[in-house]
Structure 1
């Protein structure tokens, strides 16, 4: 066999090996990443009750027309949620918003868009309402907070401020800055 024939066979083998190697190292389509963006499941027109891990008592109840659980990070996106959060006396704070989000462990709720919070009916403290654009709630510690503008009303008093923290169990709250108070005495 001539040197040209040997060189031809060697080049053919190199071409086959490099083609095979390139085929094995090609990029696999990113189907898994696109799959993670999809919902694991969707709930419609539901009521869900979560229990506290330590005591086994009700931590919160959620009612909403629709909820999507994200497959990738296991968080949940909610449309027009109504959260019912129990206070110390077994009454419920009502918290509504346009959208909601729940962390994977259920230890954080994020309410966004026209957030409305109303204190329990028949509670020992005067009826209290607050309105804000967004609110973060931590049901296991009974805390709620925002750094957005807040308007709070109670019978005879209206307060506005920027930043808000509340303990939903003890019904104690504080406005953090730019606080303005207007007293509206009852007519006798």
Structure 2
């Protein structure tokens, strides 16, 4: 029993230590400490890169956009107010960069680069490809909410804050996106 309590306390302390370390890194980052900034980049880089890849469909563009996100964070560090989650702030920057990129490209881009490959695929790969195509055919506002909800695992309130839309609008867009997917899949 004592060993179980010690294990729980240790796991709990690791979470607090990690959170405290990130808070300390945030303080150092705001003061311009490059080591603290590097720690924050390492903590969030993978999730931001994945988000960008899902949004623009190109690994090269996603890499460039991820760098732009962190460059923007560094440049705007003195104006950043630590009121919410840093990840939400980073996703907002990433979303804006991705939208600007897609606007510049002015073309439809698959959600994943491998969608265009003509190889022998298993049933699950075909199903995944068809689903990605269906999502990509949605209106951009609908696809965005669907991606944020189910691929980024964000709750509706976080999506509303990120997209700067009322919660009701986010719910409506998600509902309409799901309805459109159902219609596409029944046809």
TM-score tier (shorter): under 0.3
Higher helix proportion: 2
Q: TM-score, normalised by structure 2?
A: 0.27
Q: TM-score, normalised by structure 1?
A: 0.27
Higher RCO (CA-CA < 8 Å; seq separation 6+): 2
Higher strand proportion: 1
Structure with higher Rg: it is 1
